[in-house]
Amino acid sequence: MADELSTARTETTNNSVLLVAGKGTASRPADTAEISLACCQRAETAAEATDRLRQVMARTIEAVKALNLAGAKLQTSSLSLRTAFREIVSEVPPEDGDAHPNAKPSYKKEQEHCGFDAACTVTVSQVSPDVVGLLIDMAARLGITTISSVDFDLRDPQSARDEALEQATRDARRRATVAAAALGLRITGISQIKLGSASMDDDFQSSHVRRRSMRLMPGYDPEASWIEPGEITEDASVTIRFTLGAA
C-alpha cells in the first residue's frame, strides 16, 4: 500500500490529474568483460622490488598480447612503490613493585622497516567473457598475485535500455488506468512525461541503475568454464502526469 501511495496519487486542481511512476527492467547476457591483474613484489631495495615487478608485468602483458584477443585493450591502471614495514609485538616486563599474580601482561607494538613494496595493476578490457578464466589461469602462472576485479557488461546496452523504458511506460499506463477506474474516472490525456522518478514535492530526478553480476565458481578446473558472467540488468523509470475525466 505504501508503494502504491508513493507512485500514484491524485492532485486537486482545475483539472483532475493523476501522477504515476512506472518501472521496468530488461536483462541481457553479458558479452564483454574487464579484468584487473595486479602484482606486488617485496625486496630489500626499491630497485630490486621494481625490477621483480617489471619482470612479472612484462611477461603478463606479452602473454595477453600473444592471445590476439579481438578488440582487447590493455592499460596500466595503477603503479606504486612504498616503504614496507612489519609490526613487532613484544611483552613489556612489569616495573619493580607493580607485579601482581593476576595482572595481565602488557605489550608494545613497534614498526620495523623490512624493505620496499612495488605494486602494479594492468587492466584488460573489452574481451569476451569466455576468455576470463583463461586470463586468470595464465596470469596466475606468470606471477600475478591478485585479481583485483572482474567486471562484466554489455557492448551495446541500448536495446535493453529501450526495452526497460517501454516496460516502465506500460507499467505507468496500467497503474493509471486502474487508479482512475477506482475513482470512477478515465484517462483523457497526458500533460507531462519525465524519464526518472517523481518525489512527493513534484521535483523530477532522472534515475538509471545498472546491475552487474559475477560469480566465481568454487574449485578450479582449467579444462572447464568456472566463471559465470551472468546477466546485465537495465532498470528504467518514467513518471507520467495523466489528465482525467468522467467515465
**High-pLDDT (> 90) share of the chain, %:** 62
Say if strands 8-11 and 185-195 run parallel, antiparallel, or are unpaired: unpaired
Coil, helix or strand for 128?
coil
CATH architecture type of domain 32-89+108-153: 2-Layer Sandwich (3.30)
Beta bridge partners of 185: 246
pLDDT tens digits, one per residue of 128-175: 998 999 999 999 999 999 988 899 999 999 999 999 999 999 999 999
Residue 154, C-alpha cell as written in the block: 554489455
Q: Check whether 186 has a pLDDT greater than 80.
A: yes
User: Which has more confidence, 10 or 81?
Assistant: 81
- Could you give the count of Cα atoms lying within 13 Å of 64 in the half-sphere of its Cβ? 27
**53: which residues sit within 8 A by CB, 6+ positions away?**
39, 40, 41, 118, 119, 120
Q: What is the pLDDT of residues 22-58, one digit of tens each?
A: 999 999 999 999 999 999 999 999 999 999 999 999 9
Q: Which residue has the higher pLDDT, 225 or 232?
A: 232
* pLDDT higher than threshold 60 for residue 13: no
pLDDT of residue 7: 42
Looking at domain 2-30+156-246, its CATH class is alpha beta
The structural domains of the chain, with segments of one domain joined by +, span 2-30+156-246, 32-89+108-153
Residue partners of 181: CB distance under 8 A and separation at least 6: 247
Q: Specify whether the CB–CB gap between 31 and 131 falls below 8 A.
A: no
Global pTM value? 0.68
Distance of alpha carbon 25 from alpha carbon 12, whole angstroms: 32
**Mean pLDDT, residues 213-227 taken together:** 47
pLDDT at 5 over 80: no
For residue 209, the model assigns a pLDDT of 35
- Listed in sequence order, the DSSP H helices in the chain are 2-7, 46-66, 132-142, 158-182
